[in-house]
């Protein structure tokens, strides 16, 4: 072999899944010179088109390949690294078997982390609120003159951003603003942001993680590895573990003196203003025109990041005043015949749906349903009793939710329909009949019984409402 002849690779990296995160990871790894093979269990016209794109870029892609040990044994090169999407359980038996054979298994966020070590990450996690905080942090930084792409569990994948900005000679960002789910974090234990933000913690994804303590530990690890930690003192679970943090910046959407002894917040709200200990009042909390006390917490978490990133309060106030909000999270769609329609498709669990109900004035018609999750429905049911004149239930959970409402003694109208289209039509007539102020889609469920994602569900709801 001549000195200029390429040395063939001895092993390959296998990316499992041809979703957006898998595509981004495969392209990034290939651009860094690694031998990459993508395997995908599905086989559809859309997947074939994606596979053809990769093949044109000299990345091998195989469709109709189930996640099995035999699939890996059939590869032309042995796998040294396996990259999995967040949708694949971290304790999947095949992944456990591969680990036992010495194969390194990692999440799709890891290649992005490894390829961007000289760019500071702002890692944002939490059960609820993380998308709003991620979008608001990105908005504050961009409006403040920083180059801070948004990526991760929202929008574009982190691997795609890193590929565009680093390996295609794009400008080096000042920050990467990365939303990180528990599914991503359990598969990426080495990620260590410059700034870590933890919004809330309530029981969620227990069918995947098993226990609340296991779920908490996954998120806590991200904050423990962050250089600066920002925590929400208004969250009961986080506040209950405050004494276990040696160094952290806390925020509260209430007065400083209402916090328990031992929590000295970086930011709080006094009467109507955001206040910081050293600087005093920063600007009015009303600068962010989003309903609900939870959005004041989100505002303070984002402003705390902005202060650490060197933004001036006046610049952040101006940015808050032009923040458009987050699609699918208490998104105000329209007002029709005196009734306001809200899209809260992102409320995929009881706690998120309860927060939305608390943020709005009743009486409401509430649309709920989909693929139910484990969790405590008590607070959600109590808030429905307070705010909802009627609940329209659709999808796979409609029978289960009907039982919950009847058992809780809900006094309003309860109706069942098969799908969202029928739910919207019924909600329109019920809202007029019961003299309601608004109609709220806040499913308290995953979307996967009828949709590919909560975004697809929310987009369909938006189209139905705008067509009324």
| Binding-site residue positions for ATP | 126-132
Question: Distance (Å, rounded) from C-alpha 126 to C-alpha 205?
Answer: 12
Cα–Cα–Cα angle for 242, 247, 248, rounded to 5 degrees: 65
Residue closest to 154 by CA, chosen among 226, 86, 66:
86
Note whether 22 and 84 are within 8 A (CB).
no
Adjacency order of strands within the sheet including 12-16: 60-63, 36-40, 12-16, 79-84, 104-107
Q: Which two tokens stand for residue 452?
A: 């590919």
C-alpha torsion sign, points 188, 85, 441, 291: positive
Question: Distance (Å, rounded) from C-alpha 308 to C-alpha 103?
Answer: 39
Distance of CA 101 to the CA centre of its chain: 33
Question: Distance (Å, rounded) from C-alpha 106 to C-alpha 85?
Answer: 9
Please, which residues have CB within 8 angstroms of residue 23's CB and are 6 or more apart in sequence?
50, 54, 157, 160
Judged by DSSP in three states, 18 sits in coil
Q: Is 278 left (phi over 0), alpha (psi -120 to 50) or beta?
A: alpha
> Crossing angle of helices 398-408/378-387, nearest 10°?
70
Residue closest to 274 by CA, chosen among 250, 303, 245:
303
Note whether 284 and 273 are within 8 A (CB).
yes
Pairing state between β 388-394 and 228-232? unpaired
DSSP element (H, E) containing 295: helix 293-308
Note whether 416 and 394 are within 8 A (CB).
yes
Note whether 305 and 284 are within 8 A (CB).
no
Please, which residues have CB within 8 angstroms of residue 143's CB and are 6 or more apart in sequence?
315, 318, 319, 322
Residues belonging to the binding site are 126-132
């Amino acid at each position: 072999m001549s000195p200029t002849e390429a040395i063939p690779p001895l092993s390959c990296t296998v990316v499992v899944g041809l979703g957006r995160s898998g595509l981004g990871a495969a392209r990034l790894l290939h651009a860094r010179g690694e031998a990459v093979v993508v395997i995908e269990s599905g086989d559809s016209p859309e997947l074939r088109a994606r596979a053809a794109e990769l093949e044109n870029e000299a990345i091998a892609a195989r469709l109709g390949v189930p996640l099995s040990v035999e699939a890996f044994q059939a590869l032309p090169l042995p796998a040294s690294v396996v990259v999995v999407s967040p949708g694949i359980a971290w304790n999947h038996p095949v992944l456990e078997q591969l680990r036992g054979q010495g194969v390194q298994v990692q999440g799709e966020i890891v290649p992005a982390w490894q390829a961007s070590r000289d760019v500071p990450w702002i890692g944002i996690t939490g059960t609820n609120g993380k998308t709003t905080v991620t979008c608001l942090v990105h908005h504050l930084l961009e409006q403040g003159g920083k180059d801070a792409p948004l990526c991760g569990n929202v929008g574009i994948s982190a691997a795609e951003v890193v590929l565009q900005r680093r390996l295609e000679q794009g400008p080096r960002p000042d920050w990467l603003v990365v939303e990180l789910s528990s599914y991503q974090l359990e598969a990426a234990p080495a990620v260590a942001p410059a700034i870590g933000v933890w919004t809330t913690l309530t029981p969620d994804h227990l069918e995947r993680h098993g226990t609340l303590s296991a779920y908490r530990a996954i998120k806590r690890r991200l904050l423990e590895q962050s250089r600066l930690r920002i925590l929400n003192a208004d969250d009961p679970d986080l506040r209950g573990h405050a004494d276990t943090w040696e160094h952290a910046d806390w925020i509260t959407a209430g007065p400083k003196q209402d916090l328990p002894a031992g929590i000295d917040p970086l930011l709080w709200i006094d009467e109507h203003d955001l206040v910081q200990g050293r600087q005093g009042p920063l600007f009015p909390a009303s600068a962010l025109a989003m309903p609900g006390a939870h959005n004041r917490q989100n505002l303070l978490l984002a402003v705390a990041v902005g202060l650490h990133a060197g933004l001036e309060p006046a610049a952040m106030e101006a940015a808050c005043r032009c923040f458009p909000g987050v699609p699918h999270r208490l998104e105000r769609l329209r007002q029709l015949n005196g009734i306001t329609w809200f899209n809260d498709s992102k409320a995929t669990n009881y706690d998120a749906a309860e927060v939305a109900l608390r943020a709005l004035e009743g009486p409401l018609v509430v649309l709920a349903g989909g693929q139910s999750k484990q969790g405590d429905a008590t607070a959600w049911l109590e808030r429905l009793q307070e705010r909802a004149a009627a609940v329209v239930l659709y999808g796979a959970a409609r029978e289960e939710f009907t039982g919950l409402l009847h058992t809780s003694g809900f006094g309003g109208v309860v109706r069942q329909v098969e799908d969202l289209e029928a739910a919207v039509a019924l909600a329109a007539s019920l809202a007029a009949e019961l003299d309601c102020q608004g109609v709220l889609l806040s499913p308290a469920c995953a979307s996967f019984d009828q949709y590919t994602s909560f975004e697809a569900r929310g987009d369909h709801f938006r189209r139905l409402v705008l067509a009324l």
